[in-house]
Amino acid sequence: MSLVETGRRPNRASSPGDDTTVDFDRWPAMRTPAPAPTRAAIAKVLLRNAASRTGIEVVFPDGKRFGRSGGPILELVRPAQFFDRLGRDGKIGFGEAYMAGDWKTQDLAGLLSAMAARMRTLIPPRLQWIRRFYEPTLPPEEDNNPSGSVRNIQRHYDLSNDLFALFLDPSMTYSSALYDRPDEPLADAQARKIERLLDETRVGPGVRVLEIGTGWGELAIRAARRGAKVTSLTLSVEQATLARKRIAEEGLSHSVDVKVEDYRSSTGAYDAVVSVEMVEAVGERWWPTYFSTLEARLAPGGRIGLQTILMRHEGFVAARNSWTWIHKYIFPGGMIPSMESIEGVLRSSTRLRVLQRHHFGNSYAETLAAWREKFVAEEQAVDRLGFDRTFRRMWEFYLAYSEAGFRSGYLDVAQIVMASST
């Protein structure tokens, strides 16, 4: 990918701490928005209503404020630009306004958590019709067909292995940990998550394992240590390169085959099929294909272990056709399922049945908090990798936004174990 696509600056044009210039070719939405007085006025009314409902306080540069004192504070830096963005682009504009520095807060996760807890009532029912004017639908180019999936995965997972290493634990595990206690080291909680999924899918000596979504190889390594034979699929060249290196350093290359291959092209039969937080990148249109592929790859008597983020079903129904800030900047083509939507696909497209579910949304909130703390602390190292200030604010917002979803209960995460009913 080009530097423009990744948000990285050419090394010759940057130096550590060079935050004063925004690359408008890379970040066109950071330009000062055109005035939109009517929409801005509506946005101001809606924010005032949201502040009173969520318990946040909005503070203007001149000291004026509205909302509830004592709660998280949203401090407006450039009110006119903020309300123009919010009025024009809704939730996308809200995130872009943070990236642009139009507003700030001392407690980003707390502020967003308060808002997420009232997500369904932020816009009063009588004003819900307004949403259709500023909530775009998913663009066709982000569809997760075979070529689209490659593009979508590259935009996130191929940013830089070094970038992810700055905030992940040494296992390079980029999915929710499973905490036993709040003060537990992240690496221990990540190991527990993986070992639990391998236990529930009965991975052991001689077991044939198919992993859909390699990450940086930690699950494949742990499965191979148990004596399993692992085939692991990914579309990320960056991840595959590092995963193979890590596997070789463990002396497990004879037990793990990492392939840059689409799940739809997979063949063979496996005693265990595992997929950790990959279904969210599949896209709703392709869920029947995804789950029928899991079933097709499963040998008689085998088990499927799926870890997935989940959304409340009413939230899923409301958001299923929307193109959001997360789509635009973080996960193009993604869609978080609800448990009801998964069960519906299983009934209509497969003979799979759910054997058990284990939910641990609070653990994801703690995982994201740990990642965000490390990411923010590594500001200078992120800069040295060539990622600019706008990118850093974007990722800080992404991590805090995601943490808020889990802290508020708007999002959940679960390990789901399935088997064929025949």
Instruction: Please write down the HEC assignment for all residues of 360-395.
Output: CHHHHHHHHHHHHHHHHHCHHHHHHCCECHHHHHHH
Nearest to 39 by CA among 78, 73, 82: 82
> Under a CB-based contact definition with an 8 Å cutoff, are residues 270 and 299 in contact?
yes
Residue 121 pLDDT:
54
CA 168 – CA 187 distance, rounded (Å): 9
Cross-strand pairs, 260 = 234
CA 189 – CA 191 distance, rounded (Å): 5
Residue 16 pLDDT:
37
Residue 10 pLDDT:
45
Residue 373 pLDDT:
97
Q: Which domains does the chain have, with CATH numbers?
A: 32-135 (no CATH), 141-420 (3.40.50.150)
Name 158's Cβ contacts closer than 8 Å, sequence gap at least 6: 1, 236, 237, 238, 239
418 to 155, 228, 353: CA distances (angstroms): 31, 19, 5
Taking residue 183's Cβ as centre, other Cβ atoms within 10 Å add up to: 7
Taking residue 72's Cβ as centre, other Cβ atoms within 10 Å add up to: 21
CA 245 – CA 28 distance, rounded (Å): 37
Nearest to 259 by CA among 211, 296, 227: 211
Residue 120 pLDDT:
58
Name 195's Cβ contacts closer than 8 Å, sequence gap at least 6: 222
pLDDT tens for the chain, 422 residues long, are: 443 445 565 433 333 334 457 899 999 999 999 999 999 999 999 999 999 999 999 999 999 999 989 899 999 999 999 999 999 999 999 999 999 999 999 999 999 999 998 765 555 555 554 555 557 888 889 999 999 999 999 999 999 999 999 999 999 999 999 999 989 999 999 999 999 999 999 999 999 999 999 999 999 999 999 999 999 999 999 999 999 999 999 999 999 999 999 999 999 999 999 999 999 999 999 999 999 999 999 999 999 999 999 999 998 998 888 999 999 999 999 999 999 999 999 999 999 999 999 999 999 999 999 999 999 999 999 999 999 999 999 999 999 999 999 999 999 999 999 999 87
Residue 127 pLDDT:
52
